[in-house]
Every structure is written in structure tokens, then in C-alpha cells.
Amino acid sequence: MISFNLPPAPITSFCAALGAFYLRLALAVIALRRQHKVRLGTGQHADLEAAIRAHANFAEYVPFTLVLLVLSELNAGPWPLTAAAAALLLYGRFTHAGALRKDDIPQRVRGMKATFAAIAVGMLANLAAFVSAPAFAADPLSVASGAELRKSLSGNTVEGSMEATGRYSEFYAPDGTVRSKDYRARWSVEGDAMCWVYDGAPKDCWQAAIKGSQLHWIKGGKRLGNGTLLPGNPNRY
């Protein structure tokens, strides 16, 4: 759970794809400015105006939508909703930019509809995270017993986010092995605490509050991480 060798959150790769596309749009504007020898404005060139609007429209909608997606990931929002919003955003941006170049109004409308849908689904993902995870936020801290920790975690996977290190996904094998995509560790229950030993690091013990499939990691009386319990080893770690 506490490791600096965590696999990147899926949003990381998604942001990289959008960043590359944004640069492509910017370079298209620069190329047309040089071609038409226009330093400012559009010079009444339709292709340059379309390229400028494709670039500007991207900048108007993508940052806010990405904030929604990142917040959903950080708050352990439903992965299907977050992934759907990401896919809609990518489709919408590619479609809209292509439509402006071709002056294709129906395709342009499809691109904007997909973008608006991405924003709506991103909002739903965050609302779902707010409704489900902090059902405990109004409750006093209820620390799980050692028996509850073993029953909930042994043979199962936890995916979530830590304040200090970000996203994590770990399978807790019954033999005391912690398995993740890029690392291995050991886990044990000592008293009412869950303890980890990562390679080259001292033992680190945390308490947990568990309610249904939702979990909060507690250190020093403070909630410093959350997670969702998944049955078995769905990621095949």
C-alpha cells in the first residue's frame, strides 16, 4: 500500500495522449500562419480560422474535464464511469477538430455532444465517489479488529489512493504476500493493525475502518487513504 514504486494511474497515459494532440493543434496553427504570412488574427483565411478555433476549443473544454477525471481517480470513483468519460473526451476532441478542418457541421456537433457527455459522466463519477466512500465521513472512526482485517483482506484486492503516494492496487495473498503490478511485499496483522514490509523499508503498520466494500486507512487517528475491496485477484497479480 505505501510505496513509491506504484504503477501510474490510468489518467497519466490519457493526459499524455491529449497533450500530444494539443501540440499537434498548436503546430497546425503555426504552420498556417507561416504559410499565409499572418502574424495576428486570421487574415480572412478560412483554414487558419478553423485551425485557431480547433486549438482554442480544445483549450476551453479539456482542462476542466481532466480535472473532473483526476478528482474521480483520486477519490476512488467508479472506474467504469471514469473510463467512459475519458473515452468520450478523447473521441469528442478528435472528432470536433477534424470537423472544423473539413467544415463538417454534423461531425462537429457529434464532437461537442461527446465532449458534453464526458463532462456529465465525469460529474457523475465524482458524485458517486462522494456518495459511496465518505458514507463514513460523518461516522466516528470505527477501527476494524484484527479478525475483521484478516477476513476482509486475505485473498482479496484493494484499489484506492493514499494522500502521500497516490494510487495503488494490491492483492493480499493468504500466504502473506502482497502482489502488485510492479512490486512485491509482505503483509501481516498485528493486534488490530495491518502491517507491510516493503523491500528495503522498515515495517509500517496502519489501522483501517471498513464498511462494506469501502475502506479507509488510518494513521495517528487520521484518515490518510481510501480503497475499494475487490474479491479475489481480478488483476491476476
Extents of the domains making up the chain: 10-134, 139-230
∠ Cα 55 119 122 (to 5°):
130
| Topology at the third CATH level for domain 10-134 | Four Helix Bundle (Hemerythrin (Met), subunit A) (1.20.120)
Threshold 0.75, pTM exceeds: no
Model confidence at 200, in pLDDT bands (50, 70, 90)? Answer: confident
pLDDT over threshold 70, residue 214: yes
Model confidence at 141, in pLDDT bands (50, 70, 90)? Answer: low
Residue with cell 499537434: 24
Q: At 111, phi and psi to the nearest 5? A: -65, -45
pLDDT over threshold 70, residue 140: no
Closest to 171 (Cα-Cα) out of 183, 205, 13: 183
d(CA 145, CA 201): 25
What pLDDT does residue 2 have? 38
- Mean of all residue pLDDT scores within the chain: 86
Would you say domain 139-230 falls under CATH 3.30.530? no
